[in-house]
């Protein structure tokens, strides 16, 4: 039913989107993984934080970049220069890129979801050509 009323409604939605990019360094080793990543190793992670909203504040912005950067810095303090496997969240969840993105999403959504804006996604890049993204609908 491509092109139907429901599809048109989705395509005609208008959203504003902002993105903030940050970084942190951390070590981890993957559990139940066959390969060299089961060994202790580290990454200089890049993190992309994306917020979306349908309307802007009266000052013409979706959210102050400074607010997003401050919340991201605070969340990254929990993982920066740490051995991820030793953190409580990762004792229950494999410290994969997917779960790093999820961990940060959960921290950031609690701080940034207000009014008409919502955290759309968090991507955790473990190298220049490999990332995982977490989002909730």
Kindly list the catalytic residues: 37, 81, 126
Query: How far is it, in rounded angstroms, from Cα 56 to Cα 62?
Result: 5
State the Rg of the chain over Cα.
17
Query: How far is it, in rounded angstroms, from Cα 79 to Cα 105?
Result: 13
Residue 29 · residue 43 · CB < 8 Å: no
Residue 53 · residue 15 · CB < 8 Å: yes
């Amino acid at each position: 039913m491509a092109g139907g009323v429901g599809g048109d409604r989705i395509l005609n939605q208008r959203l504003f989107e902002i993105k903030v990019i940050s970084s942190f360094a951390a070590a981890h080793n993957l559990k139940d993984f066959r390969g060299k990543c089961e060994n202790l190793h580290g990454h200089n992670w890049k993190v992309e934080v994306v917020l979306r909203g349908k309307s802007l504040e009266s000052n013409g912005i979706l959210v102050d970049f400074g607010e997003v950067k401050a919340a991201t810095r605070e969340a990254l303090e929990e993982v920066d220069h740490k051995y991820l496997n030793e953190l409580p969240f990762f004792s229950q969840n494999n410290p994969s890129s997917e779960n790093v993105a999820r961990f940060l999403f959960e921290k950031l959504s609690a701080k940034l979801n207000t009014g008409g804006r919502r955290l759309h996604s968090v991507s955790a890049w473990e190298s220049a050509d490999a990332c995982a993204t977490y989002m909730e609908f």
